[in-house]
Every structure is written in C-alpha cells, then in structure tokens.
Amino acid sequence: EAGVTQSPTHLIKTRGQQATLRCSPISGHTSVYWYQQALGLGLQFLLWYDEGEERNRGNFPPRFSGRQFPNYSSELNVNALELEDSALYLCASSPLMASPLHFGNGTRLTVT
C-alpha cells in the first residue's frame, strides 16, 4: 500500500511569490491534514480537510489556504511568501476523523 505522497520534495521561492504544495493521501483515506514544521517549533497545525470540506484551521493568516479534490488529494497554497514561511510542510491522512494520522515525508519550502 502506497503511503502519503507529497510533491515537490523541495521548493525554492523568493519573497512575495506564491507556492503550491500537493499531497496524495493513502488510498481509502478521506481526511487530509497540513502541518508546518519550522525549526525548533514542532508541528504547527495548518488545515484539515475531510470529504472536500474544511473541518478546522490553525492560527495562520489567510494567505495560507488549500483545498481537497474529489479524489481526496489536496493542495496547500501560500501567497505573498515571507522569509519565515521557510519550513517543512507535512501532509497527513487518516481513514476516519478520529483515527491516527499517517504522514508523508514533506515538502521543504525555502523562501529567499
């Protein structure tokens, strides 16, 4: 069974640009979660989608947005990039809303 896949693996952008990160959940999983892992800050919850709907959102500005497609894959968009957006962005999926999360290996976003 394929795990959670994320693309691209690495992404380099300049300040002010926009970034799009993609995630494919494990087959059969309907919930997708996005977390930001910045150095020394642990995993900060960004967004949670289930069955195409946004279920919960973390304390991030509106320039962080996303969506979930009918095939349950998901996209995270970050507009007007700032230097402090540099981090590892992790996507996770679960089969049910209360189930443990299974993570991908992340997208390393670097903003210069």
Q: 1 CB contacts (<8 Å, ≥6 apart)?
A: 26, 27
**Selected range binding other proteins among 12-20, 33-41, 60-68, 71-79, rule: CB under 8 A:** 33-41
Beta strands in 58-99 (DSSP E): 64-68, 74-78, 87-94
Residue 42 neighbours by CB distance under 10 Å: 8
Return the number of the residue (2 or 98) whose C-beta is nearest other proteins. 98
Footprint of other proteins on residues 60-89 (CB under 8 A)? none
- Residues forming contacts to other proteins in the complex (CB under 8 A) are 4, 33, 35, 40-45, 48, 55-56, 58-59, 90, 92, 97-98, 100-106
